[in-house]
Amino acid sequence: MSVLLKNLGRVPYEPTALAMQQHAESRGSDADDEIWLCEHPPVFTQGLAGRADHLLMPGDIPVVQTNRGGQVTYHGPGQVVAYPLIDLRRAGYFVKEYVFRLEQALLKTLEVYGVTGHRVSGAPGIYVRLDDPGSHAALPPPQPGTDPFAGLGKIAALGIKVTRHCTYHGVALNVTMDLEPYRRINPCGYAGLATVDLASVGVQAERDEVARLLGDKLATWLAS
């Protein structure tokens, strides 16, 4: 079954999150799957596991408690946010595979721009090598007592919610942002984690162009 893409433009976070939740809780079994593409004004969002000590100095940026998984993250202009609203039971796959497919769509999007994304075990999202973002070399196996993020920057975050087998919340890919707000938090709960965007790893791309590409990749990978 195909997935309907909707481009919402720049929209405030809280009413968008509420609309997603209402959609997931009320949709019928024959409702179309959708992917909402948007960007948000500056906002910090706390996941269900979010700890107050990971908010270092939010300053003038609002903090919103959400019901997605994960810790604190930042949304702001120049970022592509994608909210897939998928009926997993109808699609025929479970949450673990859903997360894999989300990450694959992000990896394939980055690949178009010559950037090689990486997964880090136990830390959802996509990371790139800071010294060579295009390197295809696999990350070395993690060693006890070492920093699993050494030499890496996070370029895409992931936080989801599933209710009645239906997904909402989703992924955020950094394109051309003011990255300063990430220094006000421990991104995704990891102190000192570097956060990057396409611009800071040498890729000049328009946010709207990346949004269209990510939407197409997600629609392909999430289709049943």
For the domain made up of 3-222, the CATH class stated in words is alpha beta
List the chain residues with pLDDT less than 70.
1
Cβ neighbours of 6 (radius 10 Å): 12
Q: How many residues does the chain have?
A: 224
Which pLDDT score is estimated for 218? 98
Q: Centre a 10 Å sphere on the Cβ of residue 155 and count the other Cβ atoms it contains.
A: 26
pLDDT in tens, 117-144: 999 988 999 999 999 999 998 888 877 8
Pick the catalytic residue: 91, 105, 188, 210? 188
Q: Where are the domains of the chain?
A: 3-222
Contact 110, 48 (CB under 8 A): no
- Written as six digits, the tokens of 124 are 């959802």
Q: Is 166 a catalytic residue?
A: no
The rounded distance, in Å, linking the Cα atoms of 191 and 33 is 36
- Write down the pLDDT at residue 1: 64
Quote the pLDDT of residue 62. Answer: 97
Q: Are strands 43-46 and 123-129 parallel, antiparallel or unpaired?
A: unpaired
The Cα 119–Cα 100 span in angstroms is: 10
